[in-house]
Structure 1
Amino acid sequence: MHLRTIRPAAALLVTLLTLALTAVPARAGGPTLVVRWNQALLSAVRGGTLGPPMVSRALAIAHTCAYDAWAAYDAVAAGTVLGGALRRPPAERTEANKAEAVSYAVHLAATDLYPGQRATFDALMADLGHDPAVPDSQAARTGLAACQAVLDQRHADGSNQLGGYADTTGYAPVNAPVVVAEPLTALAQPGRWAPLTYRNAAGALVTPPFLVPHWGRVASFSGSARALADAVPAPAPYGSAGWRAQAAEIVAGTAALDDRSKSIADYWSDGPASETPPGHWCLFAQQVSARDRHGLDQDVKLFFALANAGMDAGIAAWEVKRDHDSGRPITAIRDQYRGQTIPTWGGRSVDGALWVPYQPATFPTPPFGEYVSGHSTFSAAAAEVLRRFTGSDAFGGQAVVAAGSSKVEPGVTPARDVTLRWRTYTEAAEQAGLSRRYGGIHFRAGDLEGRALGRAVGDAAWKRAVAYWTGRG
């Protein structure tokens, strides 16, 4: 079972979280073609079953296909697979031809990645005046050729997409599943990851396996994601003072949660039926596009760099997760405090052996190792690209968490609307990382080292993207 097969029903009915930038007039004519395709892709993500690393790869592939199709109509840009082999003559380098090539390319990628959502993609093509079944123009053929080259390469990139993303490494957890509703009595290796057994939103008893433990082997965009991951220092070893201190910090922190910190945990959770962290940052990029009045050329490059940084962040984070196979707070705290009464969120006290994080009971902790935080890595990488692309860290974003919208304490928390504001992309990324500590599913080091890794990944991906669109790829 994949992470995203477990969906809180409320999330399917209505979203109570609103996102808006500070008042900036939208670009005349509405969203760009690239943003419209990104919106369609995120709709597929919400309705699909792929977890964050697979989503990040899917977005990267689709936006790489868009970029490679666009590059064929640029004077200097190099395609990521075919270089300049598809370059069209100057007379054909019109906005209409670029747009048509991009749409045929993204449609091909999208239907390859999300075949069950084809109707959504076909509808957008029809709205744009294209028939995907009749690619009878040079622009259409160019877009399809560019994308097919990307797909052929990515079908052999180590992700095992054609095998349903099944693990190719033979990973097996060292610990037996921990039943969340029952007190922990023993754990073979408390410092290592343990599967969790719980009832999902459909009421079914589930024990999700470690999500794509082979993901560190996926070919990265920059070529350096795995090396950057391997440079991350090891986490605190089990039983050490650092190990005990990080568990104590989570216990104290979750017991002290107020409406604002709970809202931060809830807003950034990006769990089932959401855009997931990589898609969340695409929403921010959509608003940057409107704020800065982007055209097609700018958005092709922005989403190309952003999505590939996200893919590399997933590869790097999962490499670290698999290398260290670290236990989550839910098992570490239960092991450390069983038999002791400890404070927890909601003003309650519990036996440490039954402690749970501030998460919905139907999805208590994502199914993969703790160290490092994927949220922190994805967010820091995205923030790095947005900062570099716009030439400034200034963001001016905000989100309103509606009263009573909590997935953990519905109807109760927060007592009043809570507005979250981020002056900079960096502030937003830092809050995303911190949210996982508030939620009780990551330790401090997992967050901070994830942020550092994300910044390095984002820098490498940015430089690689620039090399492509300046013809040095």
Structure 2
Amino acid sequence: MLFWNDTALQAIRAARPGPPMCARSLAIMNTAMYNAWSAYDPQAMSTQHGAATRRPSAEHNRRNRFAAISHAAHAVLLDQFPSQKTLFDAQLLALGLDTTPVDASPGSARSVGAVAAAACIRDGHGDGANQLSLLTASGRAYADYTGYQPRNPGAIALQATARERIPFPGNWQPLTYLDSGGAATTPEFLAACLPRVKPFALTSAAQFRPGPPAAFGSAEFNDQARQLLTIQASMGETEKAIADYWADGPSSELPPGHWILLARFVSERDVHDDDIDVKMYFALANALADAAIAAWDAKICYDSARPISAIRYLMNAETVISYSPLGPAAGLGPVSGAAWLPYQPLTFITPPFAEHVSGHSCFSAAAAEVLKLYTGSDRFGAVATIRARSLKIDPKLPSMEIALRWPTFSDAAAEAGQSRLYGGIHFEKGNTAGLSLGRQVGAAAFAKAERYWSGS
């Protein structure tokens, strides 16, 4: 289980999908692995076939489970990331397993894994995510087919934005900036079709939809913008380290993958075997996928402004303390409010989708809820060591090593959510609403996953 999740994260870092696509891929793979494993368990039910694929008890052994799980993971990864076939084949061979087409023997562990994967892949192709671009003519995987259009015109991130370029200050605005390759890019709203994707445990994408963000023109809208200015001006090295650690931007494992990594700590702490891990990752990955659907439902529903647009509109004629176009590494100083920048890399200044709710907060709370329920305790105990002068956003920081400690899963989720305020990309209400939404999603996903493995 750990091996294939590590392989999936390696593929995600190379492929650079968005967080929702990352969560979906992890859920499909871990569901296929769980279904393959369930064939060798006396009570667990497959999500696709119930008890129909259960093998005779004489075949219920570690060797068969291992082979079935591995072949299922390999097949799903080939479907999700076809350009990385060389990596996946090498991983399968490293386990002593064959990469040639599956044999015709229906009772082999290899066939069990192939059947489990094929069913999950088939469902994924029709789940509404548009993975194969069958719903659009663009040929781009996951392309939007809902007709979403931003209400605001685009803005150039490293130039001051005139108020007339933000005609709808409460709504999302596309940004143009130079990516890590030096090319100008203006990303469209990522995964606008996600609320139409079939969830795992939710009755609908809107089942737990939170209330709206602060309305433009209200005191709350103005206050939340001022709060971020205060936070940015007072951040110390620890706050900056937290923002950097939880950033999970392009070329990383992204927020959903981050929690897959944290679950490895739990597995090692509690000395799990594959029989324990397969259930934990099945529940966790599906909670993360449902968290994406629920969070994006709110993002599309409210289409809310990111701090960079709201602050530039509200403080347009003011001088504020922020970062210049040289970025956070150059330090804070007086700048026009129309040019305010968050504590983010200049190559990824703000994620390309609406603010409310925070996806990171929702992912984190959902994951924390699952891990708490699965282990029977909120106790975590993980520590992340931030080496001196290792931050991606400001490489000269921290001046000395910093340890981030999370006594509980809830502490880790809360810090992940707070990191988005430190980073200047979410408001407090978007964070707290995201955390609340994630807890509800996590509880629902765990309850459904538990019913599967208990056979009830």
> TM-score, normalised on structure 1?
0.91
- Is the contact made by 1:183 and 1:354 (CA closer than 8 Å) also made in structure 2? yes
Q: Percent identity?
A: 48
The residue that corresponds to 2:87 in the other structure is: 120
Segment drifting more, 371-380 vs 77-86 = 77-86
**Retained in 1: the 8 A contact 2:151–2:173?**
yes
Please give the secondary structure, in 2, of the residue aligned with 1:453.
helix
Q: Which whole-Å CA distance do the structure 2 matches of 1:57 and 1:106 have between them? A: 14
> In the TM superposition, what is the alpha-carbon distance from 1:201 to its structure 2 partner?
1.3
Whole-angstrom distance in 2 between the partners of 1:117 and 1:296: 25
For residues 75 and 155 of structure 1, the distance between their equivalents in structure 2, rounded to whole angstroms, comes to: 30
Query: RMSD value over aligned CA atoms?
Result: 1.0
Matches within 5 A, 1:63-142: 63-136=30-103, 138-142=108-112
Q: Do the aligned residues in 2 keep the contact of 1:167 with 1:213 (CA within 8 Å)?
A: yes
1:278 to 231, 240, 256: 256
The aligned residue for residue 184 of structure 1 is: 161
Structure 2 Cα separation of the partners of residues 430 and 154 of structure 1: 31
* 2:285 alignment counterpart: 307
Q: Supply the distance in 2 between the matched residues of 1:234 and 1:274 (Cα, whole angstroms).
A: 30
Give the CA deviation at 1:344. 2.5
Report how many residues are paired.
Answer: 437
1:203 corresponds in structure 2 to 182
| Correspondence for 1:42 | 9
Aligned to 1:217: 196
Aligned residue in 1 for 2:243: 265
The residue that corresponds to 1:21 in the other structure is none
Measured in 1, the distance between the counterparts of 2:347 and 2:388 equals 21
The unaligned stretches of length 5 or more in structure 1 are: 1-33
1:468 has 2:452 as partner: yes
| Residue in 1 that maps onto 2:146 | 169
113, 124, 135: which one aligns with 1:154:
124
CA contact (8 A) 2:161 2:339 kept: yes
What is the SS of the residue equivalent to 2:132?
A: helix
Query: Whole-Å Cα distance in 2 between the matches of residues 347 and 313 of structure 1?
Result: 35
- 2:307 is matched by which residue type in structure 1? P
Amino acid across the alignment from 1:180: A
How much does 1:332 deviate? 0.3
**Helix, strand or coil: the match of 1:299?**
helix
Whether the 8 Å contact between 1:228 and 1:453 is mirrored in structure 2 is: no
**Distance in 2 of aligned mates of 1:288 and 1:199:** 38
Deviations 1:60-83 (A, max 9, x none): 000000000011111111101111
Number of the residue aligned with 1:449:
433
Tell me the equivalent position of 1:233. Answer: 211
CA contact (8 A) 1:229 1:319 kept: no
Which of 239, 242, 246 does residue 220 from structure 2 map onto?
Answer: 242
Please tell me whether the aligned partners of residues 89 and 99 of structure 2 are also in contact (alpha carbons under 8 angstroms). Answer: yes
CA offsets, 1:317-350, max 9 Å, x none?
0010000000000010000001111122634121
Aligned AA (2:143): A
Contact in 2 for aligned 1:56/1:307 (Cα 8 Å): yes
1:11 corresponds in structure 2 to none
Letter in 2 for 1:182: Q
Matching residue within 3, 23, 27 for 1:56: 23
Tell me, in whole angstroms, the C-alpha distance in 2 between the residues paired with 1:54 and 1:439: 23
Could you tell me whether the CA contact under 8 Å between 1:225 and 1:312 is conserved in 2?
no
Residue 122 of structure 2 aligns with an amino acid whose one-letter code is D
Q: Which amino acid aligns with 1:429?
A: A
The question of whether the paired residues in 2 share the 8 Å contact of 1:247 and 1:332 is answered with yes
Alignment map for 1:336-347 (pairs within 5 Å):
336-344=314-322, 346-347=331-332
TM normalised by structure 2 equals: 0.94
Preserved contact between residue 201 and residue 448 of structure 2 (Cα < 8 Å)? yes
Any idea what SS the aligned residue of 1:135 has? coil
Contact 2:16 2:252 in 1 (8 A): no
Give the distance between the partners of 1:265 and 1:115, measured in 2 at CA: 33
Q: What is the one-letter code of the residue matched to 1:188? A: P
Moved over 4 A (4+): none
Q: Secondary structure, in 3 states, of the residue corresponding to 1:197?
A: strand
Instruction: Please state how far the C-alpha of 1:132 moved relative to its aligned partner.
Output: 2.2
Q: Please report how far the alpha carbon of residue 147 of structure 1 lies from its aligned counterpart in structure 2 after TM superposition.
A: 1.4
- Measured after TM superposition, the shift of residue 408 of structure 1 is 2.2
How many Å separate the matches in 2 of 1:203 and 1:429? 33
Moved more, 391-400 or 375-384: 391-400
Match of 1:409 among 366, 380, 394: 394
Partner SS for 2:206: helix
CA distance in 2, matches of 1:461, 1:154: 18
Which piece of structure 1 moves more, 173-182 or 218-227? Answer: 218-227
Confirm or deny that 1:328 pairs with 2:328: no
Provide the rounded CA distance (Å) in 2 between the counterparts of 1:291 and 1:152. 36
